[in-house]
Amino acid sequence: MIVWLAALALFPILAALYLGGAAINIEGGGGGRQVAGLVLHYAAFMGAYAVLRLVIQTFAGPALSVAFAMVGAAILLPLLARLTFRVVGVRITSAEGASGESAA
């Protein structure tokens, strides 16, 4: 059970940094759909962590597998967010493309 501690502890921080701090717009859906998307996002993140940990554990030891799986799951976090929120009907777009302002 200790191998799940890293993912359980870091998901809220990583999700808050991405969903709250990144230059993205969350469009569509009410509060219920957004909460459902967040719950699905959590499940997908934990699933990705579990699969990566099992794959890496065949090559490395338990400690390294937890560390590398956490890094891999953190890298997949934006992709997982876009996919899981889309499932419930909420769209995540980049703020730069949606603003309509050009840099020139």
For residue range 31-51, what is the model confidence (pLDDT) as tens digits? 888 888 889 999 999 999 999
So what's the pLDDT on residue 97? 59
So what's the pLDDT on residue 48? 93
Convert the pLDDT of each residue in 47-103 to its tens digit.
999 999 999 898 888 888 888 999 999 999 989 988 988 898 888 888 775 555 554
Per domain, the residue ranges of the chain are: 31-94
**What pTM was estimated for this model as a whole?**
0.81
65 Cβ neighbours under 8 A, 6+ residues apart: 3, 53, 54, 56, 57
